[in-house]
Amino acid sequence: MDSISKPCLCATVSARTLIGAKPDCACAGERVPPPEGMEPVARKIFKGVLLLEMAGVAGACLLFYRMDTNQDFRHTMNRRFPSILEVYYKSNEWSGVYGKREEDQLKWLSSKN
């Protein structure tokens, strides 16, 4: 019975558990390559996440440009999304550009009267 070799069960376990394989196993110390289908899937997920991040940055830059150049758009943002306009004002103040908030408030108050 001892002369009959037992079949290797390492093929049924993942590569993480192979590290702890017994020394008498035929495949002890060998590295099992990842399944063929996993690398393209991970690459596609990474590309998708990267594309979404790039689209988000482009959208934020476009929104900032539009708010920076159009006072009427800032008024629309004040009515619909005041928190976003507040972030715009704060970012301008952090960068050293002061007075936009006051200019907008003066124009909006004078247009109401």
The pTM of the whole model exceeds 0.75 = no
Rounded-to-integer distance, Cα 66 and Cα 73, Å: 7
The arithmetic mean of pLDDT across residues 32-36, rounded, is: 64
Nearest by Cα to 8 from 23, 33, 57: 23
* Residues spanned by the domain of 47: 35-112
Which tokens in the block code for residue 18? 């192979």
In this model, does residue 90 exceed pLDDT 70? yes
In this model, does residue 64 exceed pLDDT 60? yes
pLDDT tens per residue, range 93-111: 999 999 999 999 999 988 8
For residue 41, what pLDDT is reported? Answer: 86
**Is 18 within the bounds of a domain?**
no
**Is 23 within the bounds of a domain?**
no
Number of structural domains the chain divides into: 1
